[in-house]
Amino acid sequence: DVKVTQSSRYLVKRTGEKVFLECVQDMDHENMFWYRQDPGLGLRLIYFSYDVKMKEKGDIPEGYSVSREKKERFSLILESASTNQTSMYLCASSSRDEAFFGQGTRLTVV
């Protein structure tokens, strides 16, 4: 059974904190993605990676950074959390034909 695992289901952080969201996949996929999902806006791509130590900006990278030191792990970093980053964050890894999603992290910034 394929697995994409995100480190937390729910997080509450304070404004200005540095926040780390971790994602691990066991499918040996080269491609990994971070999305955020907001009501009425759908899934929006933050960053993606095609290979270890490689990263590309998505549609809304501002305020975020990523790290991919190992093939199976892709981390999303909020350098200084703000209230407008309150959202559901979804990690995915993909083959050519399908993206597999983690269970999501609901982040609240207060």
Partner 1 sequence: QKEVEQNSGPLSVPEGAIASLNCTYSDRGSQSFFWYRQYSGKSPELIMSIYSNGDKEDGRFTAQLNKASQYVSLLIRDSQPSDSATYLCAVGRDNYGQNFVFGPGTRLSVLP
Binding residues for partner 1, per CB under 8 A? 30-31, 33, 35, 40-45, 48, 50, 59, 90, 94-99, 101-104
Give the nearer residue to partner 1 in terms of CB position, either 14 or 43.
43
Exposed, middle or buried by CB within 10 Å (0-12, 13-18, 19+), for 19?
buried
Q: Least distance in Å: CB of 83 to partner 1? A: 22
Q: Least distance in Å: CB of 17 to partner 1? A: 25
Give the nearer residue to partner 1 in terms of CB position, either 20 or 50.
50
How far are the Cα atoms of 28, 72, 76, 92 from residue 81, in angstroms, in the given order? 31, 25, 12, 22
Cβ(7)–Cβ(105) below 8 Å: yes
Give the nearer residue to partner 1 in terms of CB position, either 59 or 79.
59
